[in-house]
Structure 1
C-alpha cells in the first residue's frame, strides 16, 4: 500500500459498497471498507427475512470489488486531525480520505414501553431477534405493526399473507409518501389480505405493554407481538467524533458531499445531510450518493473541481406480499405523481428492483465507473429545492419565535 492514496469507507451498505467499488477505478488508490458484519445486508428484503419468505444477506464477494480490503469491525471514533479511525477491537486504520456511510437504523422510540416491548425491523439483527418471537407467538395472536411507511406496509402484508391476524397502526395516513390513487390501491390490497388498518391522529400509539398497544383515543388493542417501524435514526459516530451534524446526527456536508469541517471527509447514504437538506432515506438515494461521494474523492485526488449533487428520483416501490405490489412513480424531485403500477406487475417490478440493486453493486465492482444513475438530475433544480426548503424552515423558525415572544 506504500505510495498509494488510502481511502477508508465506513459502512458496507448500499452507499458504502457503491463508493468502495467505484474508488477502485484508480490503480493508485487503496480502498478499505470497514463494516461490523461479514456479509452485505440487503435491507429492502428485511421484511422477507422476518417472514421467512426471502433472505436479506448477500456475501460480500458477490457485490464487493476484489481490490477492496474488507475489515470486519466497528469504528468507535474518527480522529479527523490524525486522519485515522479507531476500531472496537483496538486496531487503528489510517486514511488520506474518508467516506462516511454508516447508514441508519431504528429511531429510539419515545413512546412508553416501546423500547422494552416492541420489536424494530430496521437492521438484520433486529430481524433475527424478531423471527423466533413470531414463531413462538400463538397462531391466532394479533401482530400489531406500528408505522405505515414502506417497511410497515410490507411487513403487515407479508405476515397477513401467511395467515396471521395483523393490525397496522398508522398514527396518521397510510403510506404518507404515496399519491392518493396509489394509497387507495394499497389500502384495497391490505383489506383483501385481512389487515386491519387504523388511520388518523386518534390512531397514534401512546403506550406499549407486553401484550397490548394503547392509542391516543383510549383504545387498548391486544397484541401478541408488536413490531415498531416508526422513523429512522443514524449512528452518533460523527457527533461523537466532533464532526458537525444535523439534528438527527447525519454528517453535514456541502453539495459535493464534502464535510463542512474537513475536506478529507465525505458522506453518503442515509447518514449524509448535504446542505442540511438530506435526501429520502432509501437504497434509491444511497447508491447514487455513494457514487457521487466516490466521484468527489477521485476529483480531489486528481486536483479537479468535484461536481455538485444532482441525482434524480423516479419512484417508490412497495411489495404487498409475494404476488402483489405497487410501483409509485415520482417526479425527479421525489414527489409522488398520479401514475402507479399495481397488482402482479407491481410485484414483479419490486422484485426486479431488489435484484437490480445487487446487480448494480456487483457490476460496479467488476467494472468501476460504469454506474451512471447519479448523473441524470439537475444541479440547478437541486439548488432551487435547497433554497426553497431553507426559506420554509426559516419562516417556520421565525413563526415559532414570534409565538414565544
Structure 2
C-alpha cells in the first residue's frame, strides 16, 4: 500500500455504501470518498410512497455522511483493479488503496415479454419512481392500474395505490413467495380489504400502452402498468473484469473480499459471498456495509478480517399506511409459521423505516454505533437445507 494517507473509495451511496463510509471513520486519518450518481440519499424502501405522493423518499447527504467524507456526484464507469483506479463518467479518475463496491440493485424489466420494456414502469430507483409518479398524475384516478409481480415491491406498490383510491389489479405467478403460507394469507386478506384484485398463477404474455395480455388469453385494461417482477444489479463489476455470478454480483469470500483482488470488498445487494448471496434488502445491506468496512480496517491494521456474521428475525411489508404484515423468520432468512399483521405490523414497518435513516445519521456522528443481530447465516441455511421440508 502507498505510504500516503490510505485512500478508500466507496462506490454507491445507498444503505450499504453510506454505512460502510461512516463506519470507516472508526480509524482516524483515512481519505474516504463516496461516489454516487445522485446528490441525495434515496430511501428505496419508501419509493412506493413517492409514487403516490406521500413521501419524497430522499434525504440530504449532509445529514447522512460523517465529517471528512468526500462526496463525488458522478457515475463510476470502470474499475481498473491493476492500477487501483475508478474511472468516472465525467472523465475523472479516483485512485484508491481499497475499494468498497456497494452499487446496489435495480429493477430488471425482461426483454422476453414484448412491450414490457417499452410500456412497463419499474419501481426500484428514484428516477423510476418519479417517472411513475408523473404518469399517475397524468391519468384519472379511476383509470385501471396493473401491477406485475407479487414480490414485496409489487405488493407494497399495489396496496399503496389502492389505498389512494386507484383500481388496482396485481398479476403474479405466486403472491409473496418469500413468506410462509400464514403470512401470504394475511397479505392476501389485506389486499382484498383494500380492493386489490389479485390474479395468481399466471404470467404476462405482452404489455401494450393501454392493456396487458395474460398467458391464459385474458386482456386487462391498464392505463399504467407497473413492472416489479425481478431485480438485477449494475454491470460495472462484470464490465471491469471482476468475477461475478449470473446476476452480476461480485463473487467474494466470507469476508466480502473479491475472489480476484484483496483490495476490493463488496457489500449489499451487489455482493455474492461464497456463492450464497443474501436476500437483496435493506435488512442485509446495512450489516454487510458495516462488515465490509471492518474488513478494510482489519487489512489496514495488518489483522485477519473476520467472516460475515448476520442473522435474520423478520420481514416487514407495508400494505398502505394503515396495515402491514411482518413475517417472522428463522435466523437463515427462511419463514416461520408465525407473523404479525394489521395495524401493529404497519407501526413496526414505519418504525423500521424511520429508524433506518436515524441509524445511518447516528453512525455518521458516532462511527461504530450501528448494531445488528449476529449469527452464522450461511451455516444455518446449509443446515436447514439438509432437513426434511415441513408441511406448510
Other structure's SS at 1:364 match: helix
1:332 aligned partner: 331
CA contact (8 A) 1:108 1:233 kept: no
Equivalent-residue separation in structure 1 for 2:383 and 2:91 (angstroms): 43
Q: Which runs of 5+ in 1 are unaligned?
A: 392-405
Summarize deviations over 1:115-168 as a string: whole Å, max 9, x none. 001100010000011111111112221100000111101110111011110000
C-alpha displacement of 1:385: 3.4
Correspondence 1:1-400 to 2 at 5 A: 3-109=4-110, 110-170=112-172, 172-200=173-201, 203-373=202-372, 376-378=374-376, 382-383=378-379, 385=381
SS of 1:129's partner is: helix
Task: Name the Cα RMSD after superposition.
Answer: 1.6
Distance, in Å, in 2 between the alignment partners of 1:66 and 1:42 is: 21
Aligned counterparts of 2:287 and 2:318: Cα–Cα separation in 1: 22
Q: How much has 1:108 moved relative to structure 2?
A: 3.4
The alpha-carbon distance between structure 1 residues 157 and 151, as it changes in their structure 2 partners (threshold 3 A), is same
Provide the rounded CA distance (Å) in 1 between the counterparts of 2:381 and 2:368. 28
- Tell me, in whole angstroms, the C-alpha distance in 2 between the residues paired with 1:288 and 1:162: 34
> What is the CA-CA distance between 1:91 and the residue it aligns to?
0.7
* Equivalent residue, structure 2, for 1:399: none
Deviation readout 1:174-224 (Å, 9 max, x if unpaired): 111111111111111111111100111xx2111101111111111111111
Tell which deviates more after alignment, 68-77 or 365-374: 365-374
Structure 2 gap ranges (5+):
387-392
Distance 2:256 2:10 in 1: 14
Report the TM-score, using the length of structure 2 for normalisation: 0.95
Residue-by-residue CA offset, 1:237-286 (whole Å, 9 max, x unaligned): 00010111001100110000000000000000000011121100000000
**Cα offset for 1:105?**
0.5
Q: How many residues in Structure 1 have an aligned counterpart in Structure 2? A: 385
2:80/2:240 contact within 8 Å kept: yes
Residue aligning to 1:396: none
**Whole-Å separation in 2 of the counterparts to 1:187 and 1:236:** 35
The runs of at least 4 consecutive aligned structure 1 residues that moved more than 6 Å come to none
Residue 314 of structure 1 deviates from its aligned partner by 1.1
Give TM-score scaled by structure 1 length: 0.92
| Partner Cα distance (1:25, 1:161) in 2 | 44
Task: Look up the match of 2:390.
Answer: none
Structure 2 CA distance for aligned equivalents of residues 315 and 285 of structure 1: 12
Contact conserved, 1:138 with 1:224, CA < 8 A, in 2?
no
The alpha carbon displacement at 1:39 in A equals 0.2
Report the Cα distance in structure 1 between the residues aligned to 2:303 and 2:236, rounded to whole angstroms: 29
* Contact 2:106/2:231 (8 A) holds in 1: yes
Distance across 2 between alignment mates of 1:163 and 1:388: 43
1:370 CA displacement? 1.9
